[in-house]
Amino acid sequence: MLIFCPHCGMRPSEEFTPKGLAEAPRPALGGDDRPEDDAWQDYLHTRTNKAGQTNEYFHHSLGCRRWIVVHRNTLTHEVTGSTMASEFWQNQQQAQDWEAGQ
Amino acid sequence: MSARLPQPNRLDHGGIINRDRPVTFTFDRRVYQGFEGDSLASALLANGVKLFGRSFKYHRPRGILGAGPEEPNALVEVDRGPADRDPNHRATMLEIYEGLETFSQNHIGPLNMDLMEVNDLFSRFLPAGFYYKTFFFGGLQAWYRLYEPIIRRAAGLGRPPLAADPHHYDKIYTHADTLVVGGGIAGLTTALSLAKAGQSVVVCEERDRMGGSALWQGETFNGETGAAYIAHMCREIEAAGGRLLPRTTVFGVYDAGTFGAVERCHDHLTKADRAPHTARMKYHRIQAKAVVYATGAIERSVGFNGNDRPGVMLASAGHTFLGKYGVRVGERVSLFTTHDGGYGTAAAFSAAGAEVTVLDARTDAADVSIDGVRVIKGVYAGQAHGRMGVRRVDYDGASSGSLDADALLVAGGWNPAVHLTSHTTDRRQSKPVYDAELLAFVPPELVDQEAAAGSVTGAMSTADCLATAQAAGKKLGGKKIELPTVDQALPVSKPMEMWAVPGAGDAAFLDMQNDATVKDVKLAAQEGFKSVEHMKRYTTLGMATDQGKTANVTGLALLAAATGRDIAQVGTTTFRPPYTPIPIGVLAGHHRQRDYAPFRYSPVHAWAEDNGATFMEAGLWMRPAYYTAPGDKDWLDSAVRETRATRGSLGITDVSTLGKIDIQGPDAAEFLNRLYTNGWKTLPVGKARYGLMLREDGLVFDDGTTSRLGENHYYMTTTTAHAAAVMTHMEFMHQSAWPDLAVAFASVTDQWGALALAGPNARACLAKLFPEVDVSNDGLPFMGVIETQWQGYTARLFRISFSGELAYEVAVPADIFDAFWQAALQAGAEWKITPYGLEALNIMRIEKGHVTGAELDGRVSMDDVGLGKMVSSKKDFVGRAMSEREAFSDPDRAKMVGLVAAKPGDKIIGGGIVFDSAEGPFDYTTMLGYVTSVAQYSPLKDRAIALAFIKNAADWHGKTLYVVSHVHGKSIMEVRAESPHFYDPNNEKVMA
Ligand SMILES: [Zn+2]
């Protein structure tokens, strides 16, 4: 299997370490969050494990050491692309804002 | 050249073997001769050998069924000594060489009178599901006492090697625009088309040479022989930059154009011909943009009684032995066919002088007249007779009768070798599709980067195969090439549907390797195993080493019939890699034994080796555990001597292996603030601070000290064990959660060597090493940091202590660390400086109550290890929200406590369970906690001490407890609980 790293290009999957689904961003720094807050539950525990398009964290641990989010279809194994983790949640936010504005 | 031995079944001409090179080999210690180019199967058949082995379950005598990788019966062992004994070679794929020694498998006593054949007599008691049913019959005791010993003895194919594999194996990344799997005429034609279009092409062919059946079938191409046509096609492919890999099996297809292939480089050569230091096999991890499946088709048999007798073989196999090797497997040949293809084989045998009778299952078959071939239409083989080799064949149907025969060839139709096309679900479905016209499974619809060529598509004639190759080339951007005119084409037709003949029962075999019969499949259906996956597991059909290559399709066709469904409805089981068995060694390559993983060595490793160090592994690092000095009785003696010397005067230890991370940037302090539980904004330049990291779930992750070297410059240390994980964690948090923080960091573990000086004379020693620097208690107070120079190189002085003594850590660039270490030894000589290893360090840190990985095992909270106060309530950090989970404040939670053995000489066993009574019961209902770290001797307490986690830890201080080790015969150890800070609890020494 090959994984596309936005920094290094197509690289063999052995160079990467998976972490799991990127389904919710880390809750914003606050101060009085409680463990039972939905945002924390979603970030830490809730995984939809859906059949279809997913976003997964991979670490290019034996390469550039960037964290990336790989967009993969679990039904077809098709990898449609990757985003730097550092840009992923911002992009998501922008997309949401854009949709909300429509 | 050795004398020529007779080969009774070898014709005096024909075949593509090298008759000028006789090859002498043995089978079951008997000497035989074949020719260069022979497989073990063809050479033994040439010598009249019919019996090759015994079946797995019933130990029935078995011969050769196929001529290629599909062979289920003829598994043999190649013996080159105990370390190099290699079982389960298919005789049809094993190339012979001078001196090859082979043995039949799976029998007790001689092959022709196997003592286990008694299983066959009892076969009615060993029907499908036997193994499952025995569990219910007579219960477990019967299983252990009666059945299991018998089955154990009978089970297993071949004998395993008895010593480490002596061979080399290589791993290679192989790249191509297009991978062509299968070097038959279709694969080569497609490869040529692609290579001519400028693509880089790799062709993998499982057999010893390219060409497949075109080499010997007798068809001509533009008037040339098949062998000549193939040879010049190969030259053209190579001239266009293509790569041909014979003896290379593509065993698996993986996502995104990744393929696994094994190239066999040695197994066909004598030992002398194997170049030294070269690999026996190479594992190619092939990365290709596109793939052509040109994997061919595998002929299938028909279920009839006695179809497993030695001498009953697939028509294509008989034809192969004749055409490819010049070996005639019989003189009086019966040929049972369901389609026109059988007539080509009949004609070839007749031309080779055999007397041939064709049993054509079709009443309406067209009349074919071949010299010397008798045809009986509308009949099928009902029963083959002859325990050690076919003697007679009974036929039945439109007419019935009995034929004298020494070979029975079966042409039951073709199964395209769709296995590889179903390994992947990459962008498409994986399951092959049933073609009711062809009566066969064909590949599913392929994606743009895939094509199929040749008989795997269901194409039957050579001309049709070439047309599919042309189409495959076109699909993948190849150049159009002129297809040859095929003359003397072999007859082909679709088969008549006949999976098993009427009356086929428990001697009509489908899976010959696992002895699954027509009756077993019917029984499975009867007992309700209607899913093909259930039937497979119940009957074990297709679960042997050949994965049912000759059995699966027939089995599921019979299941469909027995359950009244279409074959398409029943579907197939899942084919999984590897296509054929591969040695595990080739996947490991050089990653074995010492080379399994790299070792990391400190810059003073050589010095430690020369000075009596015994090393222990810490992750990949090799760290000195203790240094043996003259007079030391054992490791504990050494460790205690090192501890006393350090506490009494001065010790030195190598801490280069600690993880070191350099952190810089305007937001560095903010970053640390978010990573650690405690606050970092107030840490001044020139100071270090102990920090605790949590995981996001609120449990303790790691600890260490971080020093502020400059306004925006920090230097973090981690535990040796967690160094990599901490780095990864920091990268994740920075990139996924706080990309806006202006901070950069890099691991500098390998860039800095570091040592610790500990003991009352540490300061004096440090002053001697750095005479220019004020290292007094005012100049370098506890947790102070000074960056200075040592002989022109940067040196960092940290006043930190893990041992509980007055101590310093000094880091210098790794390149000069050895010199600095020597200088420190010299400087410390007047105080009898003593190097200490991990064991002494362990004693000292347990006496001091410092935690390590043994305590921070991923289950403990800050409070559990007594560090709950290290939380800044003014800020957010990783794990803060979750650290407030209710369960963490449960008073019943086990917390850290110190344990002291009741009297000197008593042991405390690590991992022991803590109870408050010596009476028991010693189980989870009464347990208080568990021991994490043990110092077998503490000089401070003059006995063993330990750290443990127990419920209501503080309440037990001063009381007697009992440690019980269930893995040491429940030995009970009496201990006293107290604060884990045994040594210098008020930190007077470290602050002195
Ligand atoms: Zn990368």
In the chain, the amino acid numbered B21 is R
Residue reference for tokens 């970092």: B680
pLDDT 10s digits, B550-562: 999 999 999 999 9
- Calculate helix-pair angle for B462-475, B185-196, nearest 10 degrees: 30
Nearest CA among B495, B515, B501, B436 for reference residue B302: B501
Mean local confidence (pLDDT), B879-905: 91
User: CATH no. for residue B877?
Assistant: 3.30.1360.120
Whether residue B541 sits in one domain with residue B464: no
Confidence of residue B133 (pLDDT cuts 50, 70, 90): low
Whether residue B761 sits in one domain with residue B674: yes
Q: Most B CBs within 10 Å: which of A58, A76, A82, as the mutation test of the B interface?
A: A76
Mean local confidence (pLDDT), B61-70: 94
Q: Could you tell me the residue range of the domain that residue B186 belongs to?
A: 169-297+416-487
d(CA B992, CA B987): 8
- Residue B761 CB contacts under 8 Å (≥ 6 apart), including other chains: B649, B650, B828, B831
Whether residue B293 sits in one domain with residue B239: yes
At B970 the pLDDT is 79
Contacting residues of A for B257, CB less than 8 Å apart:
2
Q: Is B507's pLDDT higher than 60?
A: yes
User: What ipTM did this prediction achieve?
Assistant: 0.96
Mean local confidence (pLDDT), B206-219: 96
Locate B395 and state its tokens: 């036929």
In 3-state terms, what secondary structure has residue B9?
coil
Residues of A with CB under 8 A from a CB of B: 1-2, 12, 17, 19, 22, 25-27, 29-31, 33-35, 37, 40, 43-44, 57, 59, 61, 65-67, 75-79, 84-90
User: CATH no. for residue B516?
Assistant: 1.10.10.1100
At B853 the pLDDT is 85
Domains and CATH numbers, chain A: 2-101 (3.30.2270.10)
d(CA B85, CA B94): 14
User: CATH no. for residue B22?
Assistant: 3.10.20.440
Nearest CA among B748, B756, B787, B798 for reference residue B655: B756
Whether residue B200 sits in one domain with residue B283: yes
Mean local confidence (pLDDT), A44-68: 94
At B80 the pLDDT is 77
DSSP symbols for B214-276:
GGTS--EETTEEHHHHHHHHHHHHHHTT-EEETTEEEEEEEGGGEEEEEEE-STTS-GGGSPT
Q: Is B362 in contact with B378 (CB distance < 8 Å)?
A: yes
The answer to whether the CB atoms of A31 and B674 lie below 8 A apart is no
The answer to whether the CB atoms of A77 and B427 lie below 8 A apart is yes
Q: What φ, ψ does residue B467 adopt, rounded to 5°? A: -65, -40
Whether residue B715 sits in one domain with residue B639: yes
Least confident range of B481-485, B677-681, B718-722, B761-765: B718-722
Beta bridge partners of B373: B356
d(CA B988, CA B992): 6
Ligand 1: centre distance to CA B596 (Å): 25
Q: Most B CBs within 10 Å: which of A44, A82, A87, as the mutation test of the B interface?
A: A44
Confidence of residue B913 (pLDDT cuts 50, 70, 90): very high
Ligand 1: centre distance to CA A66 (Å): 6
Whether residue B186 sits in one domain with residue B130: no
Locate B495 and state its tokens: 């088969």
The shortest CB-CB distance from A40 to any of B424, B425, B882 is to: B882
Residue B816 lies in a domain: yes
Residue B575 lies in a domain: no
Whether residue B710 sits in one domain with residue B774: yes
Contacting residues of A for B875, CB less than 8 Å apart:
31
Mean local confidence (pLDDT), B214-240: 96
Residue B591 lies in a domain: no
As a whole number of Å, the end-to-end CA separation of chain A is 39
d(CA B104, CA B83): 18
Q: Is B671's pLDDT higher than 90?
A: yes
Q: What φ, ψ does residue B957 adopt, rounded to 5°? A: -55, 130
Beta bridge partners of B337: B360, B411
Min Cα–Cα distance to chain B from A96, Å: 18
Q: Is the pTM of this model over 0.90?
A: no
Whether residue B387 sits in one domain with residue B532: no
Longest dimension (CA), chain B: 114
Other C-beta atoms within 10 Å of A88: how many? 22
How do B744-747 and B752-758 pair as beta strands? unpaired
pLDDT 10s digits, B951-975: 999 999 999 999 999 888 878 999 9
Longest dimension (CA), chain A: 43
Q: Is B933's pLDDT higher than 80?
A: yes
At B928 the pLDDT is 95
Whether residue B186 sits in one domain with residue B114: no
Q: Is B127's pLDDT higher than 70?
A: no
Ligand 1: centre distance to CA B255 (Å): 19
Min Cα–Cα distance to chain A from B878, Å: 10
At B548 the pLDDT is 87
Whether residue B895 sits in one domain with residue B780: no
pLDDT 10s digits, B718-741: 988 889 999 999 999 999 999 999
At B484 the pLDDT is 97
Residue B586 lies in a domain: no
Whether residue B154 sits in one domain with residue B263: no
Whether residue B831 sits in one domain with residue B907: no
Domain C-terminal end among B138, B162, B186: B162
User: CATH no. for residue B946?
Assistant: 2.40.30.110
Contacting residues of B for A37, CB less than 8 Å apart:
881
Ligand 1: centre distance to CA A23 (Å): 22
Domain C-terminal end among B162, B197, B212: B162
Number of compact structural domains in chain B: 6
Locate B836 and state its tokens: 């200490």
Other C-beta atoms within 10 Å of A48: how many? 10
Residue B494 lies in a domain: no
User: CATH no. for residue B350?
Assistant: 3.50.50.60
Residue reference for tokens 């398009």: A53
At B54 the pLDDT is 85
Residue B492 lies in a domain: no
d(CA B874, CA B872): 5
Domain C-terminal end among B162, B183, B212: B162
The answer to whether the CB atoms of A85 and B258 lie below 8 A apart is no
Confidence of residue B2 (pLDDT cuts 50, 70, 90): low
